[in-house]
Amino acid sequence: MMVDDFQTSTIIMKQTSLKLLYTAIVLVLIGSLTAGAIYVLARTVEPVRTTLEGTVFARLLPTNVVEGDHSGYYHAEDVAAQNEIVEVALSSTAAKNIGLDESTIMTIETVDYYKSFSVPAIVVERPGFSTITVSSPVSGIITKIHHETGVAVEPGEPLFDILLNQQELVKAQTEFLALIRKRVFNAAERRRLASVNPDAVPGQHRTLENDKIQIDSEIEIQKNVLLLQGLAETDITESLEKNSTIIRNMTVYAPPFENEEHIASTAHADDEEHIFTIDELFVSTGANVAVGDSLCKLTDYCKLAIKGKVFAANEKELVQALTSKSRVSAMFEGNGNRETVVDLSLRSIDNKIDIASGTLFCYVDLKNHFTEYEVDGESNPRRYIQWHFKPGQRCELNVEVEPLPDCIVLPVGAVTKDLHETCVFEWVGNEKDKQIWLKKPVHVVYQTKNTVVIANDGSIFPGAQIVTRGASFILAALEAASQKGTGGGVQHGDHVH
Protein backbone atom coordinates (compact mmCIF):
# COMPACT_ATOMS: atom_id res chain seq x y z
CA MET A 1 0.00 0.00 0.00
CA MET A 2 2.79 2.40 0.88
CA VAL A 3 4.54 1.58 -2.42
CA ASP A 4 1.48 2.55 -4.41
CA ASP A 5 1.16 5.88 -2.58
CA PHE A 6 4.84 6.68 -3.29
CA GLN A 7 4.52 5.97 -6.99
CA THR A 8 1.40 8.11 -7.17
CA SER A 9 3.19 11.03 -5.49
CA THR A 10 6.13 10.75 -7.93
CA ILE A 11 3.87 10.92 -10.96
CA ILE A 12 2.05 13.98 -9.59
CA MET A 13 5.38 15.76 -8.98
CA LYS A 14 6.59 15.06 -12.53
CA GLN A 15 3.36 16.38 -14.01
CA THR A 16 3.59 19.51 -11.89
CA SER A 17 7.25 20.10 -12.98
CA LEU A 18 6.32 19.77 -16.66
CA LYS A 19 3.48 22.27 -16.25
CA LEU A 20 5.82 24.75 -14.58
CA LEU A 21 8.43 24.26 -17.38
CA TYR A 22 5.85 24.82 -20.11
CA THR A 23 4.57 27.90 -18.33
CA ALA A 24 8.13 29.33 -18.09
CA ILE A 25 8.76 28.71 -21.82
CA VAL A 26 5.54 30.47 -22.79
CA LEU A 27 6.41 33.45 -20.58
CA VAL A 28 9.89 33.71 -22.13
CA LEU A 29 8.41 33.64 -25.63
CA ILE A 30 5.85 36.29 -24.75
CA GLY A 31 8.57 38.47 -23.24
CA SER A 32 10.79 38.11 -26.28
CA LEU A 33 8.01 39.01 -28.66
CA THR A 34 7.06 41.98 -26.55
CA ALA A 35 10.63 43.26 -26.39
CA GLY A 36 11.00 42.80 -30.16
CA ALA A 37 7.82 44.68 -30.84
CA ILE A 38 8.88 47.53 -28.55
CA TYR A 39 12.28 47.65 -30.28
CA VAL A 40 10.74 47.82 -33.75
CA LEU A 41 8.25 50.48 -32.69
CA ALA A 42 10.98 52.48 -31.03
CA ARG A 43 13.04 52.43 -34.25
CA THR A 44 10.17 53.34 -36.55
CA VAL A 45 7.70 55.52 -34.63
CA GLU A 46 9.08 58.53 -32.81
CA PRO A 47 6.09 58.96 -30.35
CA VAL A 48 6.54 55.43 -29.08
CA ARG A 49 10.23 56.06 -28.47
CA THR A 50 9.45 59.26 -26.62
CA THR A 51 6.85 57.52 -24.41
CA LEU A 52 9.23 54.73 -23.44
CA GLU A 53 12.03 57.05 -22.40
CA GLY A 54 12.35 57.14 -18.62
CA THR A 55 10.50 53.84 -18.15
CA VAL A 56 11.72 50.36 -17.44
CA PHE A 57 11.61 49.68 -21.15
CA ALA A 58 14.09 52.44 -21.93
CA ARG A 59 16.89 49.86 -21.93
CA LEU A 60 15.26 48.35 -25.03
CA LEU A 61 15.67 51.57 -27.00
CA PRO A 62 18.37 51.48 -29.79
CA THR A 63 21.38 53.61 -29.04
CA ASN A 64 22.26 54.52 -32.68
CA VAL A 65 18.96 55.94 -33.90
CA VAL A 66 19.54 58.68 -36.48
CA GLU A 67 18.08 62.00 -35.35
CA GLY A 68 16.53 64.61 -37.55
CA ASP A 69 14.74 62.31 -39.98
CA HIS A 70 11.89 64.54 -41.12
CA SER A 71 9.74 61.58 -42.12
CA GLY A 72 9.68 60.29 -38.55
CA TYR A 73 11.33 57.01 -39.56
CA TYR A 74 14.80 55.64 -38.82
CA HIS A 75 16.57 53.73 -41.57
CA ALA A 76 19.33 51.21 -41.06
CA GLU A 77 20.83 52.10 -44.46
CA ASP A 78 21.29 55.70 -43.29
CA VAL A 79 23.30 54.47 -40.38
CA ALA A 80 25.39 52.24 -42.66
CA ALA A 81 25.99 55.14 -45.03
CA GLN A 82 27.13 57.31 -42.15
CA ASN A 83 29.60 54.64 -41.11
CA GLU A 84 30.96 54.07 -44.66
CA ILE A 85 34.42 55.41 -45.49
CA VAL A 86 34.34 57.12 -48.90
CA GLU A 87 37.75 58.82 -49.02
CA VAL A 88 41.26 57.52 -48.82
CA ALA A 89 44.54 59.38 -48.51
CA LEU A 90 47.59 57.82 -50.17
CA SER A 91 51.12 58.79 -49.30
CA SER A 92 53.60 59.47 -52.09
CA THR A 93 55.22 56.09 -51.47
CA ALA A 94 51.89 54.27 -51.68
CA ALA A 95 51.03 56.14 -54.87
CA LYS A 96 54.35 55.12 -56.44
CA ASN A 97 53.83 51.50 -55.46
CA ILE A 98 50.41 51.53 -57.15
CA GLY A 99 51.87 53.32 -60.17
CA LEU A 100 50.06 56.64 -59.79
CA ASP A 101 51.54 59.82 -61.26
CA GLU A 102 50.40 62.76 -63.35
CA SER A 103 50.09 60.60 -66.44
CA THR A 104 47.57 58.34 -64.71
CA ILE A 105 45.11 61.16 -63.98
CA MET A 106 42.62 62.13 -66.69
CA THR A 107 39.98 64.84 -66.93
CA ILE A 108 36.46 63.58 -67.53
CA GLU A 109 34.75 64.68 -70.75
CA THR A 110 31.66 63.50 -72.60
CA VAL A 111 31.96 62.03 -76.09
CA ASP A 112 29.89 60.13 -78.61
CA TYR A 113 30.98 56.51 -78.48
CA TYR A 114 30.17 53.61 -80.76
CA LYS A 115 29.57 50.03 -79.78
CA SER A 116 31.83 47.76 -81.77
CA PHE A 117 32.73 44.16 -82.33
CA SER A 118 36.32 42.96 -82.39
CA VAL A 119 38.01 40.47 -84.68
CA PRO A 120 41.56 39.10 -84.58
CA ALA A 121 43.69 40.31 -87.46
CA ILE A 122 47.18 40.26 -88.93
CA VAL A 123 49.13 42.71 -91.08
CA VAL A 124 49.74 41.38 -94.59
CA GLU A 125 51.30 42.57 -97.83
CA ARG A 126 49.10 43.83 -100.63
CA PRO A 127 49.54 41.27 -103.42
CA GLY A 128 50.82 42.85 -106.61
CA PHE A 129 51.85 46.13 -105.00
CA SER A 130 53.98 45.56 -101.89
CA THR A 131 56.54 43.35 -103.65
CA ILE A 132 58.27 43.85 -107.00
CA THR A 133 60.53 41.31 -108.71
CA VAL A 134 63.32 42.80 -110.83
CA SER A 135 64.09 40.60 -113.84
CA SER A 136 67.01 40.65 -116.25
CA PRO A 137 66.09 42.42 -119.50
CA VAL A 138 69.02 40.85 -121.39
CA SER A 139 71.20 37.76 -121.41
CA GLY A 140 74.65 38.13 -119.94
CA ILE A 141 76.94 37.74 -116.96
CA ILE A 142 76.50 39.62 -113.67
CA THR A 143 79.62 41.73 -113.23
CA LYS A 144 78.57 43.88 -110.27
CA ILE A 145 75.88 43.95 -107.57
CA HIS A 146 75.54 47.51 -106.29
CA HIS A 147 73.64 46.84 -103.03
CA GLU A 148 73.25 44.05 -100.50
CA THR A 149 70.09 42.69 -98.96
CA GLY A 150 68.26 45.09 -96.65
CA VAL A 151 69.54 48.31 -98.22
CA ALA A 152 66.99 50.97 -99.13
CA VAL A 153 67.04 52.28 -102.71
CA GLU A 154 65.16 54.95 -104.64
CA PRO A 155 63.79 54.55 -108.18
CA GLY A 156 66.58 55.02 -110.72
CA GLU A 157 69.38 53.80 -108.46
CA PRO A 158 71.66 51.16 -110.08
CA LEU A 159 71.16 47.58 -108.93
CA PHE A 160 73.19 45.28 -111.26
CA ASP A 161 75.79 45.54 -114.03
CA ILE A 162 75.53 42.89 -116.78
CA LEU A 163 78.09 42.00 -119.47
CA LEU A 164 76.09 41.29 -122.63
CA ASN A 165 76.67 37.97 -124.40
CA GLN A 166 73.48 37.72 -126.44
CA GLN A 167 74.37 37.34 -130.11
CA GLU A 168 71.03 38.60 -131.35
CA LEU A 169 71.51 41.81 -129.39
CA VAL A 170 75.02 42.33 -130.73
CA LYS A 171 73.75 41.75 -134.29
CA ALA A 172 70.88 44.17 -133.76
CA GLN A 173 73.28 46.84 -132.54
CA THR A 174 75.53 46.28 -135.57
CA GLU A 175 72.57 46.73 -137.93
CA PHE A 176 71.53 49.85 -136.07
CA LEU A 177 75.03 51.34 -136.41
CA ALA A 178 74.98 50.55 -140.17
CA LEU A 179 71.75 52.50 -140.53
CA ILE A 180 73.23 55.39 -138.56
CA ARG A 181 76.18 55.48 -141.00
CA LYS A 182 73.76 55.46 -143.96
CA ARG A 183 71.94 58.42 -142.46
CA VAL A 184 75.24 60.31 -142.02
CA PHE A 185 76.23 59.58 -145.65
CA ASN A 186 72.80 60.63 -146.90
CA ALA A 187 73.00 63.90 -144.98
CA ALA A 188 76.45 64.62 -146.42
CA GLU A 189 75.27 64.00 -149.98
CA ARG A 190 72.28 66.27 -149.54
CA ARG A 191 74.54 69.03 -148.22
CA ARG A 192 76.88 68.61 -151.20
CA LEU A 193 74.10 68.74 -153.78
CA ALA A 194 72.54 71.74 -152.11
CA SER A 195 75.16 73.96 -153.81
CA VAL A 196 74.76 72.30 -157.24
CA ASN A 197 72.23 73.43 -159.84
CA PRO A 198 69.28 71.01 -159.76
CA ASP A 199 69.20 70.95 -163.60
CA ALA A 200 72.70 69.52 -163.63
CA VAL A 201 71.72 66.47 -161.59
CA PRO A 202 68.04 65.91 -162.39
CA GLY A 203 66.24 63.56 -159.97
CA GLN A 204 69.20 63.25 -157.60
CA HIS A 205 67.65 65.49 -154.94
CA ARG A 206 64.40 63.51 -154.96
CA THR A 207 66.29 60.22 -154.67
CA LEU A 208 68.26 61.43 -151.64
CA GLU A 209 65.10 62.69 -149.96
CA ASN A 210 63.39 59.34 -150.48
CA ASP A 211 66.48 57.53 -149.15
CA LYS A 212 66.42 59.74 -146.03
CA ILE A 213 62.79 58.88 -145.32
CA GLN A 214 63.49 55.16 -145.70
CA ILE A 215 66.65 55.28 -143.55
CA ASP A 216 64.88 57.16 -140.75
CA SER A 217 62.04 54.61 -140.82
CA GLU A 218 64.47 51.69 -140.62
CA ILE A 219 66.39 53.35 -137.78
CA GLU A 220 63.17 53.80 -135.81
CA ILE A 221 62.21 50.17 -136.37
CA GLN A 222 65.65 48.93 -135.36
CA LYS A 223 65.60 51.15 -132.29
CA ASN A 224 62.35 49.58 -131.18
CA VAL A 225 63.92 46.15 -131.70
CA LEU A 226 66.78 47.12 -129.40
CA LEU A 227 64.32 48.43 -126.81
CA LEU A 228 62.42 45.14 -126.94
CA GLN A 229 65.68 43.26 -126.45
CA GLY A 230 66.27 45.10 -123.17
CA LEU A 231 68.45 48.10 -123.94
CA ALA A 232 67.53 51.43 -122.37
CA GLU A 233 66.63 54.33 -124.62
CA THR A 234 69.29 56.52 -123.03
CA ASP A 235 71.96 53.88 -123.77
CA ILE A 236 70.85 53.67 -127.38
CA THR A 237 70.92 57.44 -127.76
CA GLU A 238 74.24 58.03 -126.01
CA SER A 239 76.28 55.01 -127.10
CA LEU A 240 74.91 54.03 -130.50
CA GLU A 241 73.56 57.23 -132.02
CA LYS A 242 76.04 59.78 -130.64
CA ASN A 243 79.22 57.77 -130.13
CA SER A 244 78.60 54.89 -132.60
CA THR A 245 79.81 52.47 -129.92
CA ILE A 246 78.38 48.98 -129.38
CA ILE A 247 76.95 48.55 -125.91
CA ARG A 248 78.85 45.80 -124.10
CA ASN A 249 77.67 46.40 -120.54
CA MET A 250 74.26 47.22 -119.23
CA THR A 251 73.06 48.55 -115.84
CA VAL A 252 69.75 47.47 -114.35
CA TYR A 253 68.09 50.23 -112.33
CA ALA A 254 65.40 50.25 -109.63
CA PRO A 255 61.98 50.71 -111.27
CA PRO A 256 59.63 53.66 -110.61
CA PHE A 257 57.02 53.43 -107.88
CA GLU A 258 53.72 51.85 -108.81
CA ASN A 259 51.11 54.35 -109.97
CA GLU A 260 47.99 53.65 -107.92
CA GLU A 261 45.58 56.03 -109.65
CA HIS A 262 43.64 53.08 -111.01
CA ILE A 263 43.31 51.43 -107.58
CA ALA A 264 39.94 51.89 -105.86
CA SER A 265 41.48 52.25 -102.41
CA THR A 266 43.74 55.31 -102.50
CA ALA A 267 43.44 56.62 -98.93
CA HIS A 268 46.37 58.83 -97.94
CA ALA A 269 47.83 58.49 -101.47
CA ASP A 270 49.14 62.06 -101.45
CA ASP A 271 51.42 61.71 -98.44
CA GLU A 272 52.61 58.10 -98.66
CA GLU A 273 56.28 57.51 -97.88
CA HIS A 274 57.53 55.37 -100.76
CA ILE A 275 60.89 53.68 -100.69
CA PHE A 276 62.22 50.33 -101.88
CA THR A 277 64.11 47.81 -99.78
CA ILE A 278 66.13 44.99 -101.32
CA ASP A 279 64.37 42.08 -99.70
CA GLU A 280 66.18 39.21 -101.42
CA LEU A 281 68.95 38.67 -104.01
CA PHE A 282 68.59 35.78 -106.45
CA VAL A 283 71.98 36.04 -108.21
CA SER A 284 75.64 36.49 -107.36
CA THR A 285 78.54 38.11 -109.16
CA GLY A 286 79.64 35.99 -112.13
CA ALA A 287 76.27 34.32 -112.59
CA ASN A 288 75.04 33.83 -116.17
CA VAL A 289 71.46 35.06 -116.55
CA ALA A 290 68.99 34.79 -119.39
CA VAL A 291 66.28 37.19 -120.42
CA GLY A 292 63.54 37.21 -117.76
CA ASP A 293 65.59 35.61 -114.97
CA SER A 294 64.80 37.09 -111.52
CA LEU A 295 67.61 39.22 -110.13
CA CYS A 296 66.16 40.47 -106.83
CA LYS A 297 62.96 41.21 -104.94
CA LEU A 298 62.13 44.76 -103.83
CA THR A 299 59.53 45.62 -101.20
CA ASP A 300 57.64 48.86 -100.69
CA TYR A 301 55.60 48.76 -97.48
CA CYS A 302 54.27 52.32 -97.68
CA LYS A 303 50.79 50.84 -97.58
CA LEU A 304 49.93 47.43 -96.19
CA ALA A 305 46.67 45.66 -95.42
CA ILE A 306 45.10 44.33 -92.24
CA LYS A 307 43.46 40.94 -92.72
CA GLY A 308 40.70 40.30 -90.19
CA LYS A 309 39.23 36.87 -89.45
CA VAL A 310 35.46 36.98 -88.91
CA PHE A 311 33.01 34.22 -88.09
CA ALA A 312 30.36 33.70 -90.73
CA ALA A 313 27.68 34.46 -88.10
CA ASN A 314 28.94 38.09 -88.00
CA GLU A 315 28.91 38.52 -91.77
CA LYS A 316 25.68 40.55 -91.72
CA GLU A 317 27.10 43.10 -89.28
CA LEU A 318 30.32 43.25 -91.29
CA VAL A 319 28.51 43.87 -94.60
CA GLN A 320 26.41 46.57 -92.93
CA ALA A 321 29.58 48.24 -91.64
CA LEU A 322 31.10 48.11 -95.14
CA THR A 323 28.07 49.61 -96.87
CA SER A 324 27.60 52.32 -94.22
CA LYS A 325 31.35 53.11 -94.23
CA SER A 326 31.60 52.62 -90.49
CA ARG A 327 34.82 53.63 -88.83
CA VAL A 328 37.35 50.96 -87.99
CA SER A 329 40.27 51.07 -85.56
CA ALA A 330 43.19 48.70 -85.13
CA MET A 331 44.87 48.01 -81.81
CA PHE A 332 48.47 46.83 -81.70
CA GLU A 333 50.13 45.52 -78.54
CA GLY A 334 53.75 44.60 -77.91
CA ASN A 335 56.48 45.00 -75.32
CA GLY A 336 53.96 46.35 -72.84
CA ASN A 337 52.92 49.16 -75.20
CA ARG A 338 49.56 49.68 -76.85
CA GLU A 339 48.94 51.63 -80.04
CA THR A 340 45.57 52.34 -81.61
CA VAL A 341 45.25 53.40 -85.25
CA VAL A 342 41.93 55.17 -85.87
CA ASP A 343 39.93 56.46 -88.85
CA LEU A 344 40.39 53.30 -90.89
CA SER A 345 37.72 51.82 -93.15
CA LEU A 346 36.83 48.42 -94.52
CA ARG A 347 38.08 47.86 -98.07
CA SER A 348 36.57 44.49 -98.95
CA ILE A 349 35.16 41.22 -97.66
CA ASP A 350 35.88 37.77 -99.04
CA ASN A 351 33.12 36.07 -100.99
CA LYS A 352 33.95 32.63 -99.69
CA ILE A 353 33.80 30.99 -96.26
CA ASP A 354 36.45 28.60 -95.06
CA ILE A 355 34.74 25.23 -94.63
CA ALA A 356 37.01 23.99 -91.84
CA SER A 357 36.84 27.06 -89.57
CA GLY A 358 33.57 28.66 -90.69
CA THR A 359 35.27 32.04 -91.08
CA LEU A 360 35.84 34.62 -93.79
CA PHE A 361 38.32 37.46 -94.15
CA CYS A 362 37.91 41.21 -94.35
CA TYR A 363 40.57 43.72 -95.40
CA VAL A 364 41.51 47.21 -94.23
CA ASP A 365 44.17 49.44 -95.80
CA LEU A 366 46.94 50.54 -93.44
CA LYS A 367 49.18 53.52 -94.12
CA ASN A 368 52.78 52.99 -93.02
CA HIS A 369 55.84 55.10 -92.26
CA PHE A 370 59.51 54.39 -91.63
CA THR A 371 62.59 55.45 -89.69
CA GLU A 372 65.77 55.95 -91.69
CA TYR A 373 69.43 55.52 -90.71
CA GLU A 374 72.77 55.15 -92.46
CA VAL A 375 75.75 52.84 -91.95
CA ASP A 376 79.19 53.68 -93.33
CA GLY A 377 80.18 51.19 -96.01
CA GLU A 378 83.48 50.40 -97.74
CA SER A 379 82.83 52.77 -100.65
CA ASN A 380 79.75 54.77 -99.72
CA PRO A 381 77.18 54.99 -96.88
CA ARG A 382 74.49 52.37 -96.93
CA ARG A 383 70.95 53.45 -96.24
CA TYR A 384 68.60 51.34 -94.13
CA ILE A 385 65.02 51.82 -92.96
CA GLN A 386 62.69 50.31 -90.38
CA TRP A 387 59.00 50.24 -91.25
CA HIS A 388 56.66 50.96 -88.34
CA PHE A 389 54.19 48.23 -89.30
CA LYS A 390 55.44 44.93 -90.66
CA PRO A 391 53.75 41.96 -92.36
CA GLY A 392 53.00 39.26 -89.82
CA GLN A 393 52.30 41.72 -87.00
CA ARG A 394 49.16 40.78 -85.07
CA CYS A 395 46.46 43.22 -84.02
CA GLU A 396 42.76 43.52 -83.26
CA LEU A 397 40.21 45.23 -85.50
CA ASN A 398 37.29 47.08 -83.88
CA VAL A 399 34.35 47.79 -86.19
CA GLU A 400 31.80 50.37 -84.99
CA VAL A 401 28.15 49.30 -85.22
CA GLU A 402 25.93 51.33 -82.80
CA PRO A 403 26.25 54.87 -81.41
CA LEU A 404 26.16 55.73 -77.69
CA PRO A 405 25.80 59.53 -77.54
CA ASP A 406 26.90 61.79 -74.68
CA CYS A 407 28.69 59.26 -72.51
CA ILE A 408 31.99 59.03 -70.63
CA VAL A 409 34.68 56.69 -71.94
CA LEU A 410 37.34 55.44 -69.54
CA PRO A 411 40.20 52.95 -69.70
CA VAL A 412 39.40 49.65 -68.03
CA GLY A 413 41.91 50.33 -65.24
CA ALA A 414 39.93 53.39 -64.11
CA VAL A 415 36.90 51.36 -63.05
CA THR A 416 36.66 48.82 -60.26
CA LYS A 417 33.88 46.88 -58.57
CA ASP A 418 33.10 45.67 -55.08
CA LEU A 419 30.27 43.39 -53.97
CA HIS A 420 27.38 45.70 -54.85
CA GLU A 421 28.54 48.64 -56.99
CA THR A 422 30.96 49.82 -59.65
CA CYS A 423 32.99 52.91 -58.91
CA VAL A 424 35.80 55.23 -59.94
CA PHE A 425 38.06 57.39 -57.79
CA GLU A 426 38.13 61.15 -58.16
CA TRP A 427 41.16 63.17 -57.14
CA VAL A 428 39.94 65.94 -54.84
CA GLY A 429 43.30 67.42 -53.85
CA ASN A 430 46.28 66.89 -51.59
CA GLU A 431 46.69 66.98 -47.84
CA LYS A 432 50.34 67.69 -47.09
CA ASP A 433 52.13 65.00 -49.08
CA LYS A 434 49.09 62.73 -49.47
CA GLN A 435 46.70 62.41 -52.40
CA ILE A 436 43.01 62.39 -51.47
CA TRP A 437 40.82 60.09 -53.57
CA LEU A 438 37.01 60.11 -53.34
CA LYS A 439 34.99 57.04 -54.24
CA LYS A 440 32.32 57.72 -56.88
CA PRO A 441 29.74 55.03 -57.78
CA VAL A 442 29.00 54.94 -61.52
CA HIS A 443 26.72 53.09 -63.94
CA VAL A 444 28.42 51.07 -66.70
CA VAL A 445 26.49 50.99 -69.98
CA TYR A 446 29.03 49.18 -72.16
CA GLN A 447 32.39 47.52 -71.76
CA THR A 448 35.08 46.03 -73.97
CA LYS A 449 38.39 44.41 -73.14
CA ASN A 450 40.15 47.77 -72.89
CA THR A 451 37.39 50.37 -72.51
CA VAL A 452 34.53 51.06 -70.09
CA VAL A 453 31.66 53.37 -71.05
CA ILE A 454 29.73 54.93 -68.16
CA ALA A 455 26.52 56.94 -68.19
CA ASN A 456 26.64 60.73 -67.96
CA ASP A 457 23.98 60.70 -65.22
CA GLY A 458 25.51 63.11 -62.72
CA SER A 459 27.33 60.50 -60.67
CA ILE A 460 30.52 62.15 -61.88
CA PHE A 461 30.71 65.40 -63.82
CA PRO A 462 32.78 66.48 -66.83
CA GLY A 463 35.90 68.25 -65.67
CA ALA A 464 36.48 65.94 -62.72
CA GLN A 465 39.89 64.29 -62.50
CA ILE A 466 40.00 60.55 -61.97
CA VAL A 467 42.64 57.88 -61.81
CA THR A 468 43.05 55.86 -65.01
CA ARG A 469 44.70 52.79 -63.53
CA GLY A 470 45.09 51.21 -60.14
CA ALA A 471 41.49 51.88 -59.06
CA SER A 472 41.21 48.35 -57.67
CA PHE A 473 44.23 48.96 -55.38
CA ILE A 474 42.70 52.18 -54.05
CA LEU A 475 39.43 50.33 -53.38
CA ALA A 476 41.33 47.62 -51.51
CA ALA A 477 42.93 50.28 -49.30
CA LEU A 478 39.50 51.77 -48.65
CA GLU A 479 37.98 48.39 -47.73
CA ALA A 480 40.92 47.58 -45.46
CA ALA A 481 40.36 50.83 -43.58
CA SER A 482 36.65 50.07 -43.27
CA GLN A 483 37.38 46.68 -41.73
CA LYS A 484 39.76 48.20 -39.18
CA GLY A 485 36.99 50.49 -37.95
CA THR A 486 38.19 53.01 -35.39
CA GLY A 487 41.67 51.52 -35.44
CA GLY A 488 42.38 52.17 -39.10
CA GLY A 489 40.30 55.04 -40.36
CA VAL A 490 37.52 57.46 -39.67
CA GLN A 491 34.26 58.39 -41.30
CA HIS A 492 32.85 60.99 -43.66
CA GLY A 493 35.50 63.31 -44.90
CA ASP A 494 38.24 62.12 -42.60
CA HIS A 495 40.92 60.22 -44.39
CA VAL A 496 42.37 56.75 -44.31
CA HIS A 497 46.17 56.82 -44.13
Judgement on whether residues 87 and 66 belong to the same structural domain of the protein = no
Judgement on whether residues 86 and 53 belong to the same structural domain of the protein = no
Judgement on whether residues 433 and 473 belong to the same structural domain of the protein = yes
3-state SS record for the chain? CHHHHHHHHHHHHHHHHHHHHHHHHHHHHHHHHHHHHHHHHHHHCHHHHHHHCCCHHHHHCCCCCCCCCCCCCCCHHHHHHHHCCCEEEECHHHHHHHCCCHHHEEECCEEEEEEEEEEEEEEECCCCCCEEEEECCCCEEEEEECCCCCCEECCCCEEEEEEECCHHHHHHHHHHHHHHHHHHHHHHHHHHHCCCCCCCCCCHHHHHHHHHHHHHHHHHHHHHHHHHCCCCHHHHHHHHHHCCCCCCEEEEECCCCCCCCCCCCCCCHHHCCCCEEEEEECCCCCCEECCCCEEEEEECCCEEEEEEEEEHHHHHHHHHHHHCCCEEEEEEEECCEEEEEEEEEEEEECCCCCCCCCEEEEEEEEECCEEEEEECCCCCCEEEEEECCCCCCEEEEEEEEEEEEEEEEEEHHHCEECCCCEEEEEEEEEECCEEEEEEEEECEEEECCCEEEEECCCCCCCCCEEECCCHHHHHHHHHHHHHHHHHCCCCCCCCCC
Judgement on whether residues 470 and 418 belong to the same structural domain of the protein = yes
The answer to the question of residue 263 being in a domain is: no
Domain count, the chain: 2
The answer to the question of residue 341 being in a domain is: no
For residue 388, what pLDDT is reported? 93
The answer to whether 155 and 256 are in contact (CB under 8 A) is yes
The answer to the question of residue 39 being in a domain is: yes
pLDDT confidence bin for 266, thresholds 50/70/90: very low
The answer to the question of residue 181 being in a domain is: no
Which sign does the torsion angle of CA 389, 391, 394, 397 carry?
positive
Question: What is the mean predicted confidence (pLDDT) over 293-297?
Answer: 95
Structural domain of 53: 18-74
For residue 37, what pLDDT is reported? 65
Minimum mean pLDDT range among 206-215, 379-388, 445-454, 485-494: 485-494
Encode pLDDT of 98-108 as tens digits.
Answer: 888 888 899 99
Residue 53 has pLDDT above 60, yes or no: no
For residue 101, what pLDDT is reported? 84
pLDDT confidence bin for 114, thresholds 50/70/90: confident
The answer to the question of residue 225 being in a domain is: no
Judgement on whether residues 66 and 91 belong to the same structural domain of the protein = no
CATH number of the domain at 425, please.
Answer: 2.40.420.20
For residue 79, what pLDDT is reported? 43
Judgement on whether residues 423 and 481 belong to the same structural domain of the protein = yes
Question: What is the mean predicted confidence (pLDDT) over 146-151?
Answer: 92
The answer to the question of residue 423 being in a domain is: yes
Question: What is the mean predicted confidence (pLDDT) over 75-85?
Answer: 50
Question: What is the mean predicted confidence (pLDDT) over 244-252?
Answer: 87
For residue 77, what pLDDT is reported? 44
Q: Which of 461, 381, 377, 384 is nearest to 426 (CA)?
A: 461
Judgement on whether residues 53 and 90 belong to the same structural domain of the protein = no
The answer to the question of residue 464 being in a domain is: yes
State the average pLDDT for the chain: 80
Residue 415 has pLDDT above 90, yes or no: yes
Question: What is the mean predicted confidence (pLDDT) over 126-151?
Answer: 91
The residue among 43 and 265 whose pLDDT is bigger is 43
The answer to the question of residue 221 being in a domain is: no
Question: Could you give the percent of the chain with pLDDT greater than 90?
Answer: 31
pLDDT confidence bin for 41, thresholds 50/70/90: low
- Residues 431, 87: Cα–Cα separation, whole Å: 12
pTM (global) more than 0.85: no
